[in-house]
């Protein structure tokens, strides 16, 4: 399978058409951004790590009954995926307080919740991805009530599976962002990526951060954290 035309270049990936109208090729870049594009940089080797980690995790999820866009890994950075129309919601699941949750509610990071939480952001760069509730998403026709229920159930299932998976490699899954899309027949599947760019990972023992927060917060050891996560996922 080969790339044809680049139809989209995002902050972390490029998306290409292929000779199959139902498939895209995504190509992962080393570019890194934070704070809605305000902070820019590069993380050497990130594209290859995020591509391969995301594919491994999506494979695991689909073995457990979660439908995903993953089709075939073509190379270190390139993957064939099912083409979807993205539901413009960033679906955020949290197990432990951190990031914008801690800031918004004035609590410390690291509070372990009794139950996971879910929230949506409206995927719109111009507006800075504002927080949105179900009713507003319905009013804006971003998704139907049924789709929102499907997405919530799938997101919590992904959380349960990922939490257990990461626990077995000594990592606490703090929070993460998912994106879902619709196939031509309307079926909702998991799309985009699952990687240290889109998840918060803390070492279970030391609580060391092993994710993009090292870049966001200038903590140093960014490349090393991505490599350490990849090493643990590979060793599983």
Distance CA 25, CA 71 (A): 10
Query: Does the footprint of ligand ADP cover residue 41 (CB under 6 A)?
Result: no
Angle, helices 46-63/145-167, rounded to nearest 10 degrees: 110
How near is the Cβ of 88 to ligand ADP at its closest, in Å? 8
90 touches, from ligand ADP, ligand UDP, none (C-beta below 5 to 8 Å by class): ligand UDP
H helices within the chain, ranges in order? 46-63, 99-105, 134-139, 145-167, 213-216, 222-235
The nearer residue to ligand UDP, 3 or 159, going by C-beta atoms, is 159
Query: Does the footprint of ligand ADP cover residue 11 (CB under 6 A)?
Result: yes
Q: Which residue has the tokens 């035309």?
A: 5
How near is the Cβ of 205 to ligand ADP at its closest, in Å? 31
Contact residues for ligand UDP (CB under 6 A)?
Answer: 90, 92, 98-101, 129, 175-177, 198-200, 212
81 touches, from ligand UDP, ligand ADP, none (C-beta below 5 to 8 Å by class): ligand ADP
How near is the Cβ of 206 to ligand ADP at its closest, in Å? 30
Query: Does the footprint of ligand ADP cover residue 83 (CB under 6 A)?
Result: yes
Q: Which member of 61, 151, 191, 194 binds ligand ADP (CB under 6 A)?
A: 191
Burial 19-53 (b: 16+ CB within 10 A, else e): eeeebbbbbbbbbbbbeeeeeeeebeebbbbbbbb
Query: Does the footprint of ligand ADP cover residue 69 (CB under 6 A)?
Result: yes
Residues 110 and 97 sit within 8 Å (Cβ to Cβ): yes
Query: Does the footprint of ligand ADP cover residue 84 (CB under 6 A)?
Result: yes
Distance CA 201, CA 155 (A): 17
Q: Which member of 32, 49, 56, 81 binds ligand ADP (CB under 6 A)?
A: 81
Reduced to 3 DSSP states, what percent helix, strand and coil does the chain have, rounded to the nearest 5? 30, 35, 35
Distance CA 148, CA 138 (A): 9
78 touches, from ligand ADP, ligand UDP, none (C-beta below 5 to 8 Å by class): none
Residues lying near ligand ADP in the complex (CB under 6 A)? 8, 10-13, 15, 24, 69, 81-84, 86, 179, 181, 191-192
């Amino acid at each position: 399978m080969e790339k044809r035309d680049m139809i989209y270049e995002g902050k972390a990936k490029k998306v290409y058409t292929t000779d199959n109208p139902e498939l895209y090729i995504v190509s992962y870049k080393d570019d890194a951004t934070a704070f809605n594009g305000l902070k820019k940089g590069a993380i050497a080797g990130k594209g290859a790590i995020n591509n391969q980690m995301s594919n491994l995790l999506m494979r695991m999820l689909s073995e457990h009954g979660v439908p995903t866009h993953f089709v075939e890994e073509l190379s270190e950075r390139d993957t064939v995926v099912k083409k979807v129309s993205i539901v413009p919601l960033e679906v955020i699941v949290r197990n432990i307080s951190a990031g914008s949750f801690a800031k918004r509610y004035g609590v410390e990071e690291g509070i372990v919740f009794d139950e996971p939480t879910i929230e949506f952001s409206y995927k719109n760069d111009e507006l800075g991805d504002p927080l949105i509730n179900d009713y507003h998403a319905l009013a804006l026709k971003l998704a139907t009530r049924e789709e929102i229920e499907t997405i919530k159930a799938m997101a919590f299932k992904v959380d349960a599976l990922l939490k257990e998976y990461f626990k077995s490699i000594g990592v606490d899954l703090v929070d993460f962002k998912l994106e879902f899309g619709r196939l031509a027949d309307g079926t909702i599947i998991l799309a985009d990526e699952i990687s240290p760019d889109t998840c918060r990972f803390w070492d279970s023992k030391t609580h060391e951060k092993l994710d993009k927060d090292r870049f966001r917060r200038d903590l140093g050891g960014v490349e090393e954290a991505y490599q350490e996560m990849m090493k643990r996922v590979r060793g599983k």
